[in-house]
Amino acid sequence: MITSTEIAGIPLSSYICNASGPKCTTYEELAELGRSKSSAIVMKTCTILPREGNPEPRLARVGKNSLIQSMGLPNLGYEKYIEFSKKLKKYGKPVVASVAGFTLDEYATLAHAFQKSGADLIEINASCPNIKGKPQIGYDFGQMRNLLSLVCEHGGKPIGLKLPPYFDPVHWDIMSELILEYNISFISCINSIGNTLVIDPWKRSTVIKPKKGLGGLSGTTIKPIALANVQAFYERLIGSVSIFGVGGIMNGIDAFEFLLAGADAVQIGTAFEIEGTSCFGYMEAGLRTMLEYHDFSSIKEAKGKLNYL
Considering only residues 71, 111, 225, 232, which one is a binding residue for ligand RRO as defined by CB under 6 A? 71
Residue nearest to ligand RRO (CB): 216
What track of x and - describes contact with ligand RRO for positions 265 through 284 (by CB under 6 A)?
Answer: --------------------
Q: According to the binding rule CB under 6 A, does residue 136 interact with ligand RRO?
A: no
User: Which of these, 100, 167, 120, lies nearest to 6 by C-alpha position?
Assistant: 120
125 binds ligand RRO (CB under 6 A): yes
- C-alpha 1/C-alpha 292 separation (Å) is 8
Query: From CA 189, how far away is CA 226, in angstroms rounded?
Result: 7
Are 134 and 176 in contact by the 8 Å Cβ rule? The answer is no
Tell which residue, 181, 185, 209, 179, has the closest CA to residue 197. 209
Note whether 111 binds ligand RRO by CB under 6 A.
no
Exposed/middle/buried for 245, CB within 10 Å: 0-12, 13-18, 19+? buried
How many Å apart are CA 149 and CA 220, to the nearest integer?
Answer: 35
Q: Segment near ligand RRO (CB under 6 A), from 31-39, 65-73, 179-187, 282-290?
A: 65-73
Q: Is 302 in the site for ligand RRO (CB under 6 A)?
A: no
6 with 264: CB under 8 angstroms? yes
> Is there a catalytic annotation at residue 128?
yes
In the set 41, 42, 60, 73, which binds ligand RRO (CB under 6 A)? Answer: 73
Give me the least distance between CB of 129 and ligand RRO, in Å please: 6
Shortest separation between residue 23's beta carbon and ligand RRO, angstroms: 13
198 counts as binding ligand RRO under rule CB under 6 A: no
Q: By CB under 6 A, name the binding residues for ligand RRO.
A: 21, 45, 70-73, 100, 125, 127-130, 191-192, 216
